[in-house]
Amino acid sequence: MDDNHQLKSSGKALEPGARPTLKTIAFMTGLGITTVSRALKDAPDIGMETKERVRLVAAQLGYQPNRAGVRLRTGKTNVIALVLSIDEELMGFTSQMMFGISEVLAGTQYHLVLTPHVHQKDPMVPVRYILDTGSADGMIISRTLPDDPRVALMTERNFPFATHGRTDMGICHPFHDFDNEAYAFEAVKRLVASGRRRIALLAPPAKLSYYIHTRIGFERGLAAFGATEVSMGRMTSEAPLSDLRSYCADLMRSADPPDGIVSISGSSSIALIAGIESAGKRVGHDVDIVSKQSAEFLNWIRPEIHTVNESVRLAGRELAKAVIARIDGVAPELLQSVSSPVWSSMAPRH
């Protein structure tokens, strides 16, 4: 008695609400379970007509392989883990990143699992958990440091990963990054072209890799175009928005306020605008702002702001492609990309 006969003798198809299995597909097609399994794996000894019939029924039933079973058979989870700080949800960062990754994974056997963490806590905790439990085949991380212990650990474990941002630690690994150096340089150039000479930079925290790139571009711009820097003190793009608003208001009321501001963050720029206006000043008249944004919204509320769009969705797609290729054994030096600033069509021109 074969497995197909055993299944038919039960006289049952899929119970309402039950998850479809290989047995379900076998019952619906009249084939044996082994035949169904091999057809779904595109085995060469199974006829094309049979494969197409099995795939059609599987698609109609919404069949998905059981990940626990797949792991037992192959040692793989078919999971890509995305480790993000919960603070990155502001302005839709997380959702856009997930959209981009999902666009690539949709055509593969891989599934995306989001692993959130609080960036003030040890960022090694979620990475160690994934490595120690074997709960993913590859990992994507963000908020990279110049000397990032997560990168060192995953490299030591020979675990496939890709980073949103670069490192500077002598380890070749897959990454996708935004060219913050080019952005900051061009931002200063645009402000000087608008007649601005006293320029402040709202930068990311100094520990992050992209702080260095931003700072280099900003300082190159100041030197190239004859501008001077106005300090933002201890304010960074991750300061509480209320603190940033208050600081900016006090700065604009000071004896020597900036007449131009370069911002690395769209959400922070909203706080800057609020601070400028609470000090009785006007954006585009008393001070110009150049801001990076991950969603095109700043020019809706202040058309006079110069804006650059950083596509987090594009970053998600590039990172997903990189980590899958790394799982497949592609050399890491072939899986590195940097996207250039794209100036908004809504931004003012000079």
pLDDT tens digits, 110-120:
999 998 887 66
Q: Is pLDDT of 1 > 60?
A: no
pLDDT tens per residue, range 263-280: 999 989 999 999 999 999
For the record, the structure tokens of 103 come out as 């666009």
Average pLDDT of the segment spanning 139-152: 96
Least confident of 174-188, 243-257, 298-312: 298-312
The reported pLDDT for the residue numbered 319 is 98
pLDDT for the residue numbered 14 = 55
Residue count of the chain: 350
Across the chain, how many H-helices and E-strands are there?
14, 12
Average pLDDT over residues 171-197: 97
As a whole number of Å, the end-to-end CA separation of the chain is 82
Q: Which tens digits make up the pLDDT trace of 314-349?
A: 999 999 999 999 999 999 999 999 999 988 765 555
The pLDDT of residue 56 is 87
Nearest to 181 by CA among 203, 155, 148, 161: 203
In this predicted structure, what is the pLDDT of residue 348? 57
- Give the pLDDT of residue 13: 53
Task: Single out the residue of 214, 212, 189, 182 nearest to residue 201, CA to CA.
Answer: 214
pLDDT at 6: 41
For the record, the structure tokens of 223 come out as 């030197």
Burial 194-213 (b: 16+ CB within 10 A, else e): bebebbbbbbbeeebbbbbb
Q: What is the mean pLDDT of residues 139-164?
A: 97
Average pLDDT over every residue of 292-319: 90
Instruction: Mean pLDDT check: name the lowest of 11-20, 176-185, 202-211.
Output: 11-20
Antiparallel, parallel or unpaired: β 342-343 and 306-309: antiparallel
Give the 3-state secondary structure of residue 265: coil
Tell me which of 9 and 107 has the higher pLDDT: 107
Task: Name 229's bridge partners.
Answer: 199
Helix residue ranges, H only, 226-256: 241-253
Higher pLDDT, 42 or 288: 288
Of 1 and 50, the structure prediction assigns the larger pLDDT to: 50
Choice among 92-101, 138-147, 187-196, 284-293 with the minimum mean pLDDT: 92-101
Q: Is pLDDT of 4 > 50?
A: no
To the nearest whole number, what is the mean pLDDT of the chain? 88
Of the candidates 319, 333, 343, 329, which has an alpha carbon nearest to the alpha carbon of residue 100? 319
pLDDT at 119: 62
Angle CA 283–230–202, to nearest 5: 65
What count of Cα atoms within 13 Å lies in the side-chain half-sphere of residue 312? 21
Q: What does pTM read for this prediction?
A: 0.78
